[in-house]
Amino acid sequence: MTPENAILSISLFAAFADGANDDREREHIRRFAETLSGDLPDLPRLYQDVLLKRIRLEDAVQALPDAGQRQFAYEMAVCVCDADGAQSDPEKRFLRELKKQLALETSAAESAAVSQADDIAVAAVAASPGLAVSADEAELDRSILNYAILNGALELLPQSWASVAIIPLQVKMVYRIGKAYGHELDQGHIKEFLATVGVGLTSQYLEQFGRKLLGGLLGRIAGGTVAKIGSAATGMAFSFATTYALGQVARRYYAGGRQMSGQMLQATFRDLLTPAKQLQERYLPEIQQKAQTLDAGQIMAMVKGN
């Protein structure tokens, strides 16, 4: 097993740790595995092996001889467990066992990256979704674009925990759009909406981390070199386009009184992804500039809604 497959296996173990992933989330993860199959031929089989328990967590751990890779694998597992908010008891037990198997010292395991990921996840659960905006079309367009630029910028940051803030910001965006059209939404409804559209919580993180691995992030953490801009750009395009398309679908859905079927929501989201990816190139300078101004405190404030 290669180090890339080992880290993705550990991330999949984390995704299934609480046993709460419904069929849609599993389908999102399966589709993610298939999208990377050209780069990692074993990934679709890896997904099945983890899901059906044909491989053990110990097998993946043993394929990571480098201390930096083991630490990175633990950080990724924490981020995946934080995908839907604060960790459940089964997820906490899984992470304790993983830390033990990875032979990480307590000081290393409780690194700044892990702490930041946990803090963002807890803040996302506790935060009020944010102030409402009016149903002014131009204002909503600007708001959606700003969220897309922000989430694209988060992908350019080298810290692994930065990606954890993307989904809470998407939740906040959908809340504000619904509120603008007179709908009071809670986080449970919004997460259900994201899942129906086809943007899974766990699978989003897995895709972000998987593409970082393919872009050479393992070489950076093992050898201390700088990550290639190409890998960061791939994640940036994914996060920008996903956020922008999600915002536009939410506009149509709530403006129309929540009458769109699940099938129509999915089709509309897919149709909007291509123009959203093209739009990302136009706003690349703004995304890069935004990334240069972000720090942990600002990201936390935005997640909390301050």
Residues 111 and 134 both lie in one domain: no
Residues 146 and 264 both lie in one domain: yes
**Any idea what the CATH number is for the domain that residue 11 is in?**
1.10.3680
Note the pTM of the prediction, 2 decimals. Answer: 0.69
pLDDT of residue 116: 62
Residues 222 and 92 both lie in one domain: no
pLDDT, tens only, 221-257: 444 333 333 444 445 667 898 899 999 999 999 999 9
Residues 169 and 277 both lie in one domain: yes
pLDDT of residue 25: 53
How many independent structural domains does the chain possess? 2
Boundary-marking domain end, from 95, 120, 145: 120
CA distance to 33, 88, 106, 150, per residue, from 216 (Å): 18, 31, 27, 23
Taking the CB of residue 122, how many other CB atoms lie within 10 A of it? 15
Under 8 Å between Cβ of 2 and 219: no
Residues 158 and 222 both lie in one domain: yes
Boundary-marking domain end, from 101, 120, 139: 120
Residues 133 and 102 both lie in one domain: no
Q: How many residues does the chain have?
A: 306
Residues 176 and 268 both lie in one domain: yes
Residues 86 and 161 both lie in one domain: no
Identify the domain containing residue 110 by its residue range: 3-120
Residue 230's nearest CA partner among 240, 242, 218, 217 is 217
Q: Retrieve residue 66's tokens.
A: 């480098």
Residues 172 and 189 both lie in one domain: yes
Residues 161 and 254 both lie in one domain: yes
Boundary-marking domain end, from 81, 99, 120: 120
pLDDT of residue 247: 95
Q: What is the pLDDT along the chain (306 residues), one digit of tens a residue?
A: 778 778 888 888 888 887 755 555 555 556 555 555 455 546 667 778 888 888 899 999 999 988 888 887 887 788 777 766 667 788 889 988 999 999 887 554 455 555 665 565 555 555 555 555 566 888 899 999 999 999 888 888 766 667 677 878 888 889 889 989 988 887 778 878 887 887 765 566 566 555 555 554 444 444 433 333 344 444 566 789 889 999 999 999 999 999 999 899 989 998 998 899 889 888 989 998 998 888 777 777 776 664
Give the largest CA-CA distance in the chain.
Answer: 55
Residue 9's nearest CA partner among 52, 68, 66, 67 is 52
pLDDT of residue 264: 93
Residues 62 and 145 both lie in one domain: no
Under 8 Å between Cβ of 38 and 211: no
Residues 185 and 272 both lie in one domain: yes
pLDDT of residue 61: 94
